[in-house]
């Protein structure tokens, strides 16, 4: 289990595991971001700022607009120097280079499409599984951007360019680890240290989901926590249960074994990987679309982050 208490610890890990030479231009920024993601108080404060920005963008959406949260996310992402994928189709060709941007991606390994996404500063709606979270990486990096400004974008784009001695992508080490109570992440990063990709910090996207929706009640005055919990409950994807080891403990999220955040309409016919590409790109295919979802226009007046507006979820 790896937690970096200081910038120096993170920097040492990067050098010892052969991710980057000691004189690499981005080394200090990568180490600082790793330490930031390991500091709960700092990350949670930055994430609250992200939530406030998203609420402001959400409030500005017309009542008839679809995907209000995603639209707000795109606005905040662009203001930070990132982009969010919004096109309805994807065509990677044999090269793996994106000519259109997919709406949703289940990224597997270090496929060329994955590299293209990172190097392009693109966020995607992640279909890995519910606990991993469809928005977790976007929220993760917007919080980083609140703390580090445009330096976050440069580091994000570079995470596909470096690997450890054992071939572990810098992205995995920095932002896509596994918590101790989840499968995966047991491989050693290099032969030089005992480090693995196990980390009970916000370097693991599952920890972000746990923080936002892991308890029965959403975080107080936190738009993103409230929105995600309300949305997943409405979809029937999120349930809470009593921990087996402690019947007096509060109920916690039971994410179940859903293979994706939209299991109710993800059918095999909707998924198609390009030649030589192991990733799954969501494409609009005639006859396989889910039933249209009505735009929500019935609003509840709610207050988050000191601002009152219409909430539609």
- Work out whether the CA dihedral 97, 108, 26, 15 comes out positive or negative: negative
Confidence of residue 289 (pLDDT cuts 50, 70, 90): very low
State yes or no: pLDDT of 175 exceeds 50. yes
Q: What confidence score (pLDDT) does residue 108 get?
A: 52
* Spatial separation of the C-alpha atoms in residues 269 and 246, rounded to whole Å: 43
Q: What confidence score (pLDDT) does residue 224 get?
A: 98
H or E segment and range at residue 122: strand 122-123
Q: How many residues does the chain have?
A: 313
Q: What confidence score (pLDDT) does residue 116 get?
A: 82
* Spatial separation of the C-alpha atoms in residues 32 and 156, rounded to whole Å: 13
Q: What is the DSSP letter of 44?
A: H
Q: What percent of the chain has pLDDT over 70?
A: 77
Q: What confidence score (pLDDT) does residue 99 get?
A: 41
Q: What is the DSSP letter of 197?
A: S
Q: Give me the residue label for tokens 């001695």.
A: 165
Residue 1: CB atoms within 10 Å: 12
* Spatial separation of the C-alpha atoms in residues 313 and 298, rounded to whole Å: 9
Q: Which of 39-53, 100-114, 269-283 has the lowest mean pLDDT?
A: 269-283
> What is the arithmetic mean of pLDDT over 180-186?
84
Q: What confidence score (pLDDT) does residue 297 get?
A: 66
pLDDT (tens digit per residue) in 206-257: 999 999 999 999 999 999 999 999 988 888 888 888 877 777 888 888 876 4
Residue 238: CB atoms within 10 Å: 21
> Does residue 30 contact residue 155 with C-beta atoms inside 8 Å?
yes
Confidence of residue 296 (pLDDT cuts 50, 70, 90): low
What's the whole-number average pLDDT of the chain?
A: 80
pLDDT (tens digit per residue) in 14-33: 999 999 989 999 999 999 99
> Does residue 238 contact residue 217 with C-beta atoms inside 8 Å?
no
- Backbone φ and ψ of 238, nearest 5°: -125, 125
Q: What confidence score (pLDDT) does residue 136 get?
A: 94
State yes or no: pLDDT of 98 exceeds 60. no
> 187: which 2 tokens?
């491989």
pLDDT (tens digit per residue) in 114-173: 788 899 898 887 766 778 888 999 999 999 999 999 999 999 999 999 999 889 999 999
Q: What confidence score (pLDDT) does residue 149 get?
A: 97
Q: What confidence score (pLDDT) does residue 177 get?
A: 94
Q: Which of 21-25, 274-278, 302-306 has the highest mean pLDDT?
A: 302-306
C-alpha separations of 138 from 177, 243, 263 in Å: 15, 29, 21
pTM of whole model > 0.85?
Answer: no
Confidence of residue 7 (pLDDT cuts 50, 70, 90): very high
User: What number of H helices and E strands is found in the chain?
Assistant: 10, 10
């Amino acid at each position: 289990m790896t937690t970096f208490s200081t910038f120096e610890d993170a920097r040492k890990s990067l050098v010892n595991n052969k991710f980057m030479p000691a004189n690499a231009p981005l080394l200090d920024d990568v180490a600082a971001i790793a330490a930031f993601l390991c500091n709960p108080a700092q990350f949670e404060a930055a994430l609250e700022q992200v939530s406030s920005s998203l609420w402001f963008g959400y409030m500005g959406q017309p009542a008839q607009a679809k995907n209000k949260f995603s639209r707000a996310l795109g606005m905040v992402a662009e203001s930070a120097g990132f982009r969010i994928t919004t096109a309805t189709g994807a065509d990677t060709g044999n090269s793996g280079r994106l000519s259109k941007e997919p709406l949703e991606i289940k990224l597997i390994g270090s496929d060329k499409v994955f590299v293209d996404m990172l190097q392009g500063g693109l966020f995607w709606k992640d279909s890995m599984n519910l606990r991993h979270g469809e928005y977790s990486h976007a929220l993760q990096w917007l919080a980083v951007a609140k703390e580090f400004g445009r330096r976050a974008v440069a580091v994000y784009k570079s995470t596909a360019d470096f690997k450890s001695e054992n071939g572990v992508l810098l992205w995995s080490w920095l932002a896509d680890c596994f918590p101790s109570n989840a499968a995966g992440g047991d491989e050693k990063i290099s032969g030089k240290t005992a480090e693995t990709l196990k980390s009970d910090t916000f370097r693991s996207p599952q920890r972000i989901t746990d923080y936002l929706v892991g308890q029965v009640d959403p975080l107080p005055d936190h738009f993103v926590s409230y929105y995600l919990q309300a949305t997943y409950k409405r979809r029937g994807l999120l349930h809470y249960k009593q921990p087996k080891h402690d019947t007096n403990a509060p109920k916690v999220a039971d994410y179940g074994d859903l293979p994706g955040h939209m299991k109710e309409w993800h059918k095999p016919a909707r998924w198609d990987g390009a030649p030589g590409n192991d990733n799954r790109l969501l494409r609009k295919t005639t006859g396989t679309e889910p039933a249209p979802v009505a735009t929500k226009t019935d609003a509840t007046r709610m207050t988050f982050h000191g601002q009152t507006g219409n909430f539609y979820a």
